[in-house]
Amino acid sequence: MIAGTPSGRNRCGTNCSIETGREPSLRLARRLSLSRYHQIMRCASMMRAGAVAVLVTLAACDSPSAPEIPQPLILKGITQPGFSGYDTPQRLVIRTQADWEAAWATLWLRTIYVPALPAVDFTRDVVLIAAAGQKPSLHFIAIEAAYATRDAATVTVRSYSPVAGCVTTPVITTPADVVQMPRRDRVSFVEEAVVRPC
């Protein structure tokens, strides 16, 4: 026993002789002012919240991005001849003036009068041609819609034919549809067949 110190006590006085077993936070609170203690606790809580936010952000970066939603493209109709020069089915994407001039001449190959070539800015647009080839009368073809995702476009082409039993004339047609569309590097066609009443 130390001289001048009562048994079971330290120099702090009664009821504070033994710190063993006390919570560390309580010991810290005894040494600091109460406001300083709460400030430290708030900082620790903010640091934990910040760490959680960083982990959530990293997880979001690693997760796959949501699929891109196709956006509709505006189609500008140019012409729809019933007797084009295309005897076989064709799906064409015209990207240059030279190809456009050649395609225009083929479209009107079976007519005496050839309309003036429409002006197209091929730095911004392309021309799409869907030709059905040789078909009996009452057959038609149409470029119905186009949807884009970034630099690609998907174009829907519908081929119309009459229901069985319709009376047709003994005439062979070569229908085609020609439209102008905003330029895309890649263009694919989706085919749909439609049977319509007489």
What's the burial of 26, exposed, middle or buried (CB within 10 Å: 0-12/13-18/19+)?
exposed
pLDDT confidence of residue 164 = 87
Distance CA 4, CA 59 (A): 64
Tokens of 100: 């456009």
pLDDT confidence of residue 55 = 42
Buried b (16+ CB within 10 A) or exposed e, 3-15: eeeeeeeeeeeee
pLDDT in tens, 79-104: 999 999 999 999 999 999 999 999 99
pLDDT of residue 122 exceeding 70: yes
Question: How far is the CA of 180 from the CAs of 36, 72, 100, 118, 129, in angstroms?
Answer: 72, 14, 11, 10, 9
What's the burial of 136, exposed, middle or buried (CB within 10 Å: 0-12/13-18/19+)?
middle
Q: How confident is the model at residue 123 (pLDDT cuts 50, 70, 90)?
A: very high
pLDDT in tens, 20-35: 444 455 555 455 555 5
Average pLDDT over residues 184-189: 96
Query: Domain residue spans in the chain?
Result: 1-63, 71-196
pLDDT confidence of residue 67 = 73
> What's the pTM value of the predicted model, to 2 decimals?
0.67
pLDDT confidence of residue 13 = 43
Average pLDDT over residues 116-128: 98
pLDDT in tens, 54-88: 444 444 444 456 678 999 999 999 999 999 999 99
